[in-house]
Amino acid sequence: MLRHFFTLIWNKRKTHALLIVEIWASFLVLFGVLTFLLSNLRNYREPIGFSYEQVWSMELTNNQDTTDVPAKVESILRRIRAYPEVESASRMSSNTPFTMNNMNNSVSYQNASTLAEFYRTDESLYRTLDITMQKGRWFGPQDRSARYTPLVINQKLQEKLFPGENPIGKTIKKDDTHFWKVVGVVETFKGKGEYMNNTPAIFEPLTEKDWDMSILIKTRPGTDATFEANLVKDVLAMVRNWGAEVTYLTESRKTQHNLTLVPVIIFGIISTFLLINVGLGLFGVLNLNIARRRGEIGLRRAMGATERSISLQFLGEIWVLASFSILLGLLFAVQFPLLHVFDMDAGIYLLAMAVAVVVIYLIVTLCAWYPSRQASLIAPAVALHED
Amino acid sequence: MIKLQNVEKVYRTSSVETLALNNINLTVNKGEFVSIMGPSGCGKSTLLNIMGLLDEPSQGHIEIDGRRVESYQDQKLARLRNEKLGFIFQSFHLINDLSVLDNVEIPLLYRNTSAKERRELAREALEKVGLSNRMKHFPKQLSGGQKQRVAIARAIVGRPEIILADEPTGNLDSVMGNEILAILQKLNADGATIIMVTHDDSMARQTHRLIRLFDGTQVQ
Ligand SMILES: Nc1ncnc2c1ncn2[C@@H]1O[C@H](COP(=O)(O)OP(=O)(O)OP(=O)(O)O)[C@@H](O)[C@H]1O
Ligand SMILES: [Mg+2]
């Protein structure tokens, strides 16, 4: 039975070529879109590693004033910390959470080397952002007079530079005269938000000479915009002709999310339309195919085929074609994990493949269902009568 | 073997109603070779289709081997068509994408026959119609007479007791036509009951019995 139908499909391969190409192409598109969606989803499910609720970011601008800038920023920070509404405040380089700013550099340890995001900050950031330590500690007063520069790294960096080792106490050469020493490891730190890929991160202390002018302020629950206005007014009173702008991290997080979600949604919509199109095309082709084969259907019925076996024949044919197309598609798709195209987990690719396979079979079945059913309902006498 | 009682067939479309068969009473006995004649449009094919369970009468009863089949569901009808009946059509109805051998195997697909046995039976059937040298050919590579012989092989491969032929020689010249008739006569001699629609008087005369239709009514 099966051999008979395989022969039939094989002998009709030229007629089927276009259909195969169509299914193959939609499989690949689906695979691409799903990889994109799933990697975002996977990122989303990974914790960002800090808390942004009640945290404000104040961006200072010194404008023309260039005298004693680091000291002025420090005194502003001290002033901010003095408010009862403020739980904790930290200075930070301009790559504060959910901004577009980046400060990455490569770091190496022995033979390993990787790109990492550098955050310059102070001893209290872990409190301001409620960062969970996994090993060791955040840098503190005990490091101030040390000859090395203390570092806190995230686990991703540990995996890259110190695989299988305890990184605490390890030193990394910074330049000819300076050393970094790892004092702590945090779980994750995804500064760009949930959709960001978990990448290596390094926190190093600000020095007295650094001009970094972002201040993260963790306020007490219930603190409102009135305090914000007072805060800005007070700060600006301290430094003439400076500027100060406050944004809530919850707001910038939303903006950052939209940057990721908008393309995801656009991609999703486009590919949904594409799949609907493919589905309709398939439906049309199958309908036509069945209309052309009414004679064959009538004949098979006359020879003893039941309605069910006619339905199954047509469904089976499309499944064989889909399987063949998917197989061709998989040959392409497996190249991505094999050749490590894009820095992505093989798991994501495999999951995308699996989901794409299921979706293609679903679409194909859905589109073939009705025509196949119609085919089985054709009255044999009528079908035979026609040609 | 086949018995029709008060069979009536009405084709209804939205605008017209055609009475294709009117009160047909008819019995075909085992081993008979019956021919059906009549002018075009008088209902010959309709009658054959009803006898072959390809179509349902609007009224009346059909008995096959003494059993009424009106209430039969799709599965049972398909089984009857498959096991009891063999069809031969004027336009052959071969599947162009299948070889001669694969075409002949079709009825055996719908019963439990192993691939090996199917091949053997198909070969045998093709031998009976004198086409064993064309098994790997495709229908497009055959003449009309050869195509009809493939169709006959397909009709007999499942060893049905009844063969229904709707103008089997209609598309063929008289030499080919006589060849086909000879094959049918041989099958009849071997025990098959044959009902054949024809336009050809000389062929009808070579059968046991002639049924004449006129405008859906049996006149002889
Ligand atoms: N599916 C159908 N729908 C409507 N009318 C039909 C249908 N099939 C047949 N008829 C009508 O029924 C009548 C009998 O048709 P049938 O095909 O049985 O004639 P026939 O005797 O086989 O003719 P021919 O010798 O030309 O093959 C005709 O008038 C035809 O128009
Ligand atoms: Mg006819």
Q: Which of the residue ranges A78-82, A90-94, A183-187, B15-19 would you say has the lowest mean pLDDT?
A: B15-19
Do A237 and A334 lie in a common domain? Answer: no
Q: Using CB atoms, which residue from A304, A381, A387 is nearest to B82?
A: A304
Inter-CA distances, B158 with A304, B83, B186, B192, Å: 10, 7, 16, 12
Fold of the domain built from segment(s) B2-218: Rossmann fold (3.40.50)
Do A204 and A278 lie in a common domain? Answer: no
Is A303–B82 a contact, with Cβ atoms under 8 angstroms apart?
yes
pLDDT recorded at residue A135: 92
Do A262 and A215 lie in a common domain? Answer: no
Do A79 and A226 lie in a common domain? Answer: yes
- Please, are residues A191 and A98 in contact by the beta-carbon 8 Å criterion? yes
Is A379–B45 a contact, with Cβ atoms under 8 angstroms apart?
no
| A87-117: pLDDT as tens digits | 999 999 999 999 999 999 889 888 888 999 9
How high is the mean pLDDT of chain A?
91
On whether any CB of chain B is under 8 Å from the CB of A303, the answer is yes
| B150-201: pLDDT as tens digits | 999 999 999 899 999 998 888 888 888 888 898 889 899 999 999 999 998 9
State how far residue B82 is from chain A, nearest Cα, in angstroms: 4
Q: State which of A212, A241, A270 marks the end of a domain.
A: A241
Looking at chain A from residue 8 to 27, which residues have their Cβ under 8 Å from any Cβ of chain B?
A: 8, 11-12
Q: Is residue A56 domain-resident?
A: no
| Separation between Cα atoms, residue A154 and residue B72, nearest integer Å | 75
Inter-CA distances, B96 with A86, A262, B92, B116, Å: 84, 52, 11, 23
- Atom 18, ligand 1: which residue's CA is nearest? B43
Do A19 and A89 lie in a common domain? Answer: no
Q: Is residue A250 domain-resident?
A: no
Q: Is residue A53 domain-resident?
A: no
Q: State which of A206, A241, A276 marks the end of a domain.
A: A241
How many domains in chain A? 2
Do A233 and A118 lie in a common domain? Answer: yes
Give contacts of A298 with chain B, Cβ < 8 Å: 54, 93
Do A266 and A312 lie in a common domain? Answer: yes
Give contacts of B44 with chain A, Cβ < 8 Å: none
Q: Which residues line ligand 1 (CB under 6 A)?
A: A 382, 385; B 11, 13, 18, 20, 38, 40-46
Atom of ligand 1 nearest to the CA of B43: 18
Q: How many CA atoms lie within 13 A of B152 on its CB side?
A: 30
Do A70 and A41 lie in a common domain? Answer: no
| A128-172: pLDDT as tens digits | 999 999 999 999 999 988 888 999 999 999 999 999 899 999 998
- Domain ranges in chain B are 2-218
Q: Which domain holds residue A167?
A: 63-241
| A292-347: pLDDT as tens digits | 899 999 999 999 999 999 999 999 999 999 999 999 999 999 999 888 878 778 88
Q: Is residue A33 domain-resident?
A: yes
pTM of the predicted protein model: 0.81
Inter-CA distances, A266 with A36, A261, A271, A331, Å: 12, 8, 8, 27
| B154-167: pLDDT as tens digits | 999 998 999 999 98
Q: Is residue A248 domain-resident?
A: no
Do A280 and A219 lie in a common domain? Answer: no
Do A72 and A200 lie in a common domain? Answer: yes
A-B interface: how many C-beta pairs under 8 angstroms?
A: 76
Do A97 and A173 lie in a common domain? Answer: yes
Q: Is residue A211 domain-resident?
A: yes
Q: Is residue A247 domain-resident?
A: no
